[in-house]
């Protein structure tokens, strides 16, 4: 009896011809692409194992454990080379070699380690330091500060050098070797981490501690479907790579640098946006992770809090009050976009940041993030920016936002981007709401502008133009106006929601960024047209590059790699589309709907108001006789001591409210 292949393991006999699509290995602090010679802070191990006799090669990424393994098999020996970024000790990277004798020969067996690792960097001036125990040690400083007057970070690397060959001694059946590299910002920290690594190797706990950390992470989330192996595998890949870009759930003391579109393993000179942080983090990657991991969600918010000073300087340079978060952000929060027009005009980033904070509060009711955590400074600072940036139009008696670039970057210097104005309206409303919760006196202008900002709408055609003067049918780069329904949640009739989808879907660039089609899919799911949604979601598969489920920004393989933004949009289409989850002020709303080829969706670990330990899983099953789900089961539910199944009728919506009750509407 043949067992089904594990969807969490991505295997192949041949590496992709385009080496950009080798799997990235990251842990929230360090990241690198397998066999590449560059990691986020310099160089690391690279290259393959070779033998003189003919060999069968297998390459496998186990997403259960975050370990990439190259297995080389000959008549006399099987060699396994394992690579991983340690999930618990996040400043440590590991290579392990296992040689196992095959056949009856008892002669020594030697394999080559092909490596191009050289301790050098164009960004850091390295110099040799005294060897530490069995490790080589180099140290250096970055060549350029992020902005004039800022310090240049110091970097220390200590690693066990890998030899050119490894030999399995005569008459010995197997042998193991381990190599570690640690990175730190002080010699004391580097030496302590290296000592920890040596101790873990000596006690046999190096790999087990890594695997345990990944196991703990996976226990807090599960997103799987029955009926489509490709969809299931894509979802697993999305969760794995997104989680790899976030810090450890055990270590919140480190300074998290945010999540870039290409993650930690990409972002070299001129590549993948230089590793900068965009709205991609807050709008596209964050929601799917926040639904399961409040600690990781908070890390994203703390990153933005840490850039408040830079955001204040950005606003002042533009001549406005409050905070202006950069279109491209690094450590300081000052604008680092190489082209001024984006930083000047793509101001919707401010609303995107506040939307993440609002989402977090509604999911967790954690007011400490807004008091001790200084999140309120972000919300109030953004509100002040909108009030100072807005212009009153006497003729329309509405507030206008002039000279902006919408999310659709084909257009710039336009007035009243419907997305920008809507996200500004909602962030002002949230500022008023938060001020009430914290008993902070809210300036009356916040509510005044929120109530009277223009939201472009065509009464005749009953749809939302992308901006003032937009001509229906003009090309669109990516999801923009369709995001009014989700994630913004702008109230509108079903007719208007449909009109928006039908207006923008045919004119959206088919080679635009990958996250777009997920938003269209969610829209059609809201309208209970699951097959249309599925067709659009399938477009995302063109961006998934085999065999390791690596995403490219565009369907032709061009653009940023590994494109976490596209993964985030794809994941949201399932988590917030198929389930209908909506995080609202006083409830978590859900309304499941599955396409024909999906018979079951299982989501485990949703963390709502800290109830994850009781609300363990959500399973949505479909009756073949109808298009809607007929049941959803909460295992070990908060509602009783036994699993509870609620009847599902077309159009039924249930609310999981803070009162821990559920009822059909």
Q: Give the residue numbers marked as catalytic.
A: 409
In DSSP terms, which residues pair with 158 in a beta bridge? 137, 182
What's the distance, CA 328 to chain centroid?
16
Of residues 382, 390, 376, the one with CA closest to residue 441: 376
The 3 state secondary structure assigned to 560-583 is CECCHHHHHHHHHHHHHHHCCCEE
d(CA 135, CA 157): 9
Sign for the CA dihedral angle at 426, 432, 438, 441 comes to positive
Alpha helices in 347-454 (DSSP H): 348-364, 375-389, 418-437, 444-452
The encoded tokens of residue 278 equal 């965009």
Most distant CA atoms of the chain, gap in Å? 92
In DSSP terms, which residues pair with 152 in a beta bridge? none
Of residues 291, 423, 432, the one with CA closest to residue 363: 291
In angstroms, the Cα distances linking 206 to 100, 214, 472 are 20, 13, 59
Residue 260, C-beta contacts closer than 8 angstroms, at least 6 positions apart? 245, 266, 267, 272, 273, 275, 276, 277, 278, 280, 281, 564
* Half-sphere exposure (Cβ direction) of 209: Cα atoms closer than 13 Å: 19
Residue 17, C-beta contacts closer than 8 angstroms, at least 6 positions apart? none
In angstroms, the Cα distances linking 55 to 13, 310, 365, 514 are 11, 55, 57, 38
The encoded tokens of residue 588 equal 């978590």
């Amino acid at each position: 009896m043949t067992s089904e292949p594990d969807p969490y393991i991505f295997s192949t006999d041949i590496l992709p011809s385009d080496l950009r699509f080798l799997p990235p290995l990251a842990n929230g602090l360090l990241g690198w692409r397998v066999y590449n010679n560059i990691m986020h802070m310099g160089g690391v191990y690279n290259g393959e194992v070779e033998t003189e006799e003919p060999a069968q090669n297998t390459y496998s990424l186990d997403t259960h454990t975050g370990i990439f393994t190259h297995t080389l098999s000959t008549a006399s020996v099987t060699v396994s080379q394992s690579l991983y970024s340690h999930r618990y000790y996040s400043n440590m990277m590991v290579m392990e070699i296992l040689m196992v004798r095959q056949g009856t020969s008892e002669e020594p067996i030697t394999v080559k380690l092909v490596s191009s690792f050289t301790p050098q960097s164009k960004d850091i001036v390295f110099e040799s330091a005294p060897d530490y125990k069995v490790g080589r040690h180099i140290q250096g400083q970055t060549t350029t500060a992020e902005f004039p007057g800022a310090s240049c970070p110091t970097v220390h690397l200590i690693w066990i050098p890998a030899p050119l060959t490894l030999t399995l001694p005569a008459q010995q059946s197997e042998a193991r070797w381990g190599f570690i590299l640690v990175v730190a910002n002080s010699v004391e920290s580097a030496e302590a981490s290296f000592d920890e690594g040596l101790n873990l190797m000596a006690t046999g706990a190096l790999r087990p501690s890594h695997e345990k950390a990944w196991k703990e992470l996976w226990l807090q989330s599960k997103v799987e479907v029955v009926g489509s192996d490709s969809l299931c595998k894509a979802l697993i890949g999305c969760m794995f790579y997104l989680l790899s870009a976030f810090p450890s759930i055990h270590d919140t003391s480190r300074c998290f640098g945010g999540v870039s579109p290409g993650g930690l393993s990409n972002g070299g000179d001129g590549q993948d946006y230089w590793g900068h942080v965009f709205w991609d983090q807050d709008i596209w990657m964050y929601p799917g992770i926040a639904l399961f991991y409040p600690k990781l969600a908070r890390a994203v918010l703390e990153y933005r809090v840490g850039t408040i000073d830079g955001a204040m300087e950005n606003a002042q340079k533009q001549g406005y009050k409050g905070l202006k978060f950069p279109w491209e952000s690094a450590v300081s929060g000052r604008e680092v976009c190489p082209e001024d027009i984006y930083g000047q005009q793509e101001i919707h980033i401010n609303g995107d940041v506040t939307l993440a904070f609002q989402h977090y509060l509604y999911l967790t009711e954690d007011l400490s993030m807004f008091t001790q955590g200084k999140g309120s400074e972000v919300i109030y600072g953004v509100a002040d920016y909108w009030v100072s940036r807005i212009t009153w139009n006497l003729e329309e008696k509405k507030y206008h936002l002039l000279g902006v670039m919408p999310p659709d970057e084909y257009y710039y210097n336009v007035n009243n981007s419907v997305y920008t104005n809507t996200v500004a309206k909602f962030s002002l409303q949230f500022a008023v709401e938060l001020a009430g919760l914290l008993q902070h006196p809210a300036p009356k202008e916040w509510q005044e502008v929120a109530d009277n900002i223009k939201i472009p709408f065509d009464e005749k055609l009953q749809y939302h133009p992308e901006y003032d003067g937009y001509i229906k049918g003009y090309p669109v780069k990516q999801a923009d106006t369709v995001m009014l329904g989700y994630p913004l949640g702008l109230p509108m009739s079903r007719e208007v929601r449909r009109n928006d989808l039908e207006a923008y879907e045919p004119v959206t660039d088919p080679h635009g960024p990958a996250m777009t089609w997920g938003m269209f899919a969610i829209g059609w799911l809201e309208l209970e047209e699951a097959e249309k949604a599925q067709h659009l979601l399938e477009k995302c598969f063109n961006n998934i590059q085999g065999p390791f489920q690596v995403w490219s920004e565009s369907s032709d393989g061009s653009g940023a790699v590994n494109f976490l933004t596209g993964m985030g949009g794809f994941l949201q289409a399932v988590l917030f589309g198929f389930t209908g989850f909506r995080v609202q002020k006083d409830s978590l709303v859900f309304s499941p709907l599955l396409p024909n080829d999906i018979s079951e969706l299982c989501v485990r670990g949703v963390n709502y108001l800290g109830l994850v330990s009781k609300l363990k899983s959500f399973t949505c099953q479909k009756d073949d006789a109808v298009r809607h789900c007929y049941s959803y089961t909460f295992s070990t539910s908060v509602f009783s001591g036994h699993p509870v199944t609620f009847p599902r009728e077309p159009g039924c919506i249930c609310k999981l409210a803070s009162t821990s009750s559920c009822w059909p509407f």
